[in-house]
Amino acid sequence: MDNDSRFILLATMRTGSTLLSRAIHHHPAARCLGGLLCPTESIRAEAHREYFPDDDYLAGQSSAFRVAEHYLESKVWPAAPAHAAFRFKLFYGHLNDWKCWQYFETSPGLKCIQLVRNPVVSFVSWRQARQEGVWHRPAGRDIPHSRPLQVDLADLSEYLERHVRRYQQAKALPLERLEVNYGELVQDFDRTMGRIYAFLNLEPSPPRQPLAKINHWDLSQRVTNWEEVASHLEANRPELLVDMI
């Protein structure tokens, strides 16, 4: 396929990556896969068994990069239809786990859409999704609000440090990129999708919003010890006390 039609979606969990993946997939000239290096996704289960036979690669073996490169070139890109925008989702952690940095640093013509969201909100959303077992909400379907949870400050701090480090690594990749804010995606969906289509050189097409936001409550309602969390952030990461969508 034409290298100019390849693109990746870089994100971390709970940033709207599934919403964006499915929305792009509905465009008639685009095809999207889910989490590329997530072995639980059935669309790539066979490839994972063939190219990632065990978990030794996660221990940091130098051969992990070559395996990931072979997987991409042999199984992923050839599956793309001709002349279509084709992409997959890649979480920051997978870039580290499978030593993919070098591959993407030397991939000419590859574009990148990088989804961003306040990591404090992503953390709470991730914890609540695990707590409730509800990860997505189809558009038009009502579901109960998630139960409030208590945030462990040490756990949150570790998550934020890891997130910032991985975000900066991903942003440093020498790719043509479009950064998309979660708030823009959910609050101005049609306009944001138009901007994404233009970035991918796709013809305008009426976008379809397949998923809806699960929880509209403020963090003060979703976190039982929010005052403690807010005080901790004020002292350590005050820049994260804004844009909490």
Per-residue pLDDT in tens (0 to 9) along the chain, 245 residues: 455 578 888 898 899 998 998 898 889 888 876 666 555 554 455 555 555 555 444 444 444 555 667 777 776 777 666 656 767 777 887 776 666 777 788 777 788 999 999 999 999 999 999 998 888 888 888 877 788 999 999 999 999 999 999 898 888 888 899 999 999 999 999 999 999 999 999 999 999 888 888 888 899 999 999 999 999 999 999 999 998 88
Residue 53's φ and ψ, nearest 5 degrees, are -70, -20
For each of the domains in the chain, give its residue range(s) and CATH number, in order of start: 3-241 (3.40.50.300)
Quick one: which of 161, 198, 170, 207 has its CA closest to 24? 207
Residue 214's SS3 state is coil
Distance (Å, whole) CA 26 – CA 81: 14
